[in-house]
Amino acid sequence: MKQFNTDKDIRKAKTIDKSFYFSDEVWEQSKSSIFKNSWQCLGDVNSLFAADINSRPETFLPEYLNEPILLTKENDLIKVMSNVCTHRGFILSHYPAQSKSLTCKYHGRRFGLDGKCQFMPEFKEVEDFPSECDHLQKLKTFQWNQFLFASIDGGQDIQPAFSEIDKRVGFLNTHEFIHFPSYDKTYTVHAHWALYCENYLEGFHIPFVHNELNELIDYGSYDTFCKDDVVLQIGYGSDSADCFDLPEGHPDYGSKVAAYYYWVFPNLMLNYYTWGVQLNYILPVNKNLTRVTFVYYIKNPNDTRFLNGDKLGEKTEREDEFVVEGVQKGLQSSFYNHGRFSPRREKGVHYFHRLISQKL
């Protein structure tokens, strides 16, 4: 497979080789090197385990990894494990349920909610049963506020990243925000997932692509910070923008901040506004197709500013799709292989390419 290298000095660096976006080999390698080792948000625990549900089948990165997983809750302890029976590979759980145990409907193998094999018919003669390989394999988990994360191969410690996020947005008490599923949306983007992330990771294009957003953001003050697996972009507000009332002691106290845009490697975005937070899940399908899901949490249901934010978000998304899909087409040109970075405006994209190169 082609080796990728992005110079750590942004003044010298070139964008990642375009084969990253089109190579079948790289696409498959990314599954293990990037996504199996990543932390993926599985959703809101209040929704996942609503109505007394204590076991729930899900899919880790549907349409891409398609890994069947099972979420269980026992005495407030949440576990995420494989949803494949260790006997003959049948899918163990098919529907959310309230269960004392988990019984495979193929040959009757039974597991506890902790994933340990408890019983199997016609296995009295089997030696050393059950052994470790008969229990369900567990994924590492992490919960931040109401959001549950899991990783297949473990990933690096995600706690420091979200501790950094809390330093700036912790005062908002996101755990009290209300999910409004009627406003959630899923978009189909005809482009590579990484191109969508790259577009998000720079405000360079705002004056050229987003006329309404540009009226609310002070482009000259727009700033980007990169640390660990997180990129933060701060959108400082223009005179007409609605800005946060930041408490004393806040890192940005005294500044007019209209939005905090957080990206967590490789495919999660958290957009904080005065009315609430919008989560963006960037879900790879194939090299030419990505699904983007917007999930809305609102601070105050009676705050009409959300409606304006939702309308602007829809317009901004369509504008982003236009340019991202245009890049997908343009990268296939025989006249293009690499670009260069603006040291002032494209720090986030450079950081992303560095992370991709290191993972691969």
**For the packed helices 347-359 and 193-200, what is the interaxial angle rounded to 10 degrees?**
150
Mean pLDDT by 10 residues, the chain (360 residues): 90 97 96 96 95 95 97 95 98 96 97 97 96 97 96 90 95 94 96 98 96 93 95 93 94 96 98 96 98 95 83 93 98 96 98 96
Q: Which two tokens stand for residue 43?
A: 């959703």
**Tell me, what's the pLDDT at 341?**
98
**Global pTM?**
0.95
**E-assigned strands of 145-222?**
147-151, 178-179, 185-189
Residue 97 neighbours by CB distance under 10 Å: 13
Q: What type of residue sits at position 33?
A: S
In angstroms, the Cα distances linking 244 to 212, 213, 301 are 19, 17, 18
Q: What is the DSSP letter of 126?
A: -
- Spatial contact of 299 and 177, defined as CB atoms under 8 Å apart: yes
- Give dist(CA 205, CA 211) in Å, integer: 10
Q: Which two tokens stand for residue 122?
A: 């016609």
**Tell me, what's the pLDDT at 40?**
97
Q: Where are the alpha helices (DSSP H) in 176-298?
A: 193-200, 206-209, 211-216
- Spatial contact of 170 and 202, defined as CB atoms under 8 Å apart: no
Q: Which two tokens stand for residue 95?
A: 């529907």
Q: All domains of the chain, ordered by start, with CATH? A: 40-151 (2.102.10.10), 159-359 (3.90.380.10)
- Give dist(CA 44, CA 182) in Å, integer: 15
Q: What type of residue sits at position 124?
A: K
- Spatial contact of 246 and 259, defined as CB atoms under 8 Å apart: no
How far is C-alpha 212 from the geometric centre of its chain's CA atoms? 26
Whether a cis peptide bond, with omega within 30° of 0, leads into 130 is: yes
In angstroms, the Cα distances linking 99 to 58, 71, 138, 325, 331 are 16, 12, 19, 46, 51
How far is C-alpha 161 from the geometric centre of its chain's CA atoms? 13
Residue 318 neighbours by CB distance under 10 Å: 10
* CA within 13 Å, CB half, 324: 28
